[in-house]
């Protein structure tokens, strides 16, 4: 059964870079059928998609965060990572990693991706 686990510092200072890693177990991160994404949730608020990547290295980012986000993958370590630069208190949130799986595939092409499963999440607080 595929499992994801976020890890990284729980406290980051303003203006610094937030760095998190998602470790994938029970499956391959190199599969061509999936994307791998990051989602965050500020305390008491809703979900916000941050960005995603394909095993080949292609990346897709939320336009509102694009200038500050980098997502990369290390297939040899079955990990992918998130870096968010120039953080402020508004970046305080629980950060989740998740796999994006297709609703269906036709031949070698897959379509309609949704998030399943999710990691348990990790709280990152931005404060001096």
Q: Which residues bind another protein (CB under 8 A)?
A: 35, 39, 46-49, 52, 58, 60-61, 63, 96, 100, 103, 112-121
Least Å distance, CB 45 to another protein, is: 9
CB of 84 to another protein, least distance (A): 18
User: To the nearest whole angstrom, how small is the minimum distance from the Cβ of residue 78 to another protein?
Assistant: 19
Do the Cβ atoms of 44 and 24 come closer than 8 Å?
no
- Structure token digits, residue 87: 């953080």
Q: Cα separation of 29 and 93, whole Å?
A: 25
85/117 with CB nearer another protein: 117
Q: Map residue 90 onto helix, strand or coil.
A: helix
Q: Measured from the CB atom, is 92 or 100 closer to another protein?
A: 100
Query: Least distance from C-beta 125 to another protein, angstroms?
Result: 16
Distance of CA 27 to the CA centre of its chain: 17
Pairing of strands 122-126, 11-12: parallel
The nearer residue to another protein, 14 or 60, going by C-beta atoms, is 60
Q: Closer CB to another protein, residue 16 or residue 48? A: 48
Q: What is the CA radius of gyration of the chain?
A: 14
């Amino acid at each position: 059964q595929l499992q994801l686990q976020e890890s990284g510092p729980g406290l980051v200072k303003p203006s610094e870079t937030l760095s998190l890693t998602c470790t994938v177990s029970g499956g391959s991160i190199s599969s061509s059928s999936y994307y791998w994404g990051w989602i965050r949730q500020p305390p008491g608020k809703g979900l916000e998609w941050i960005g995603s990547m394909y095993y080949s290295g292609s990346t897709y980012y939320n336009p509102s965060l694009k200038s500050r986000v980098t997502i990369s993958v290390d297939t040899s370590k079955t990990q992918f990572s998130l870096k968010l630069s120039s953080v402020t208190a508004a970046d305080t949130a629980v950060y989740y990693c998740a796999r994006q799986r297709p609703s269906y595939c036709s031949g070698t092409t897959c379509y309609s991706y949704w998030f399943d499963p999710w990691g348990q999440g990790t709280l990152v607080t931005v404060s001096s």
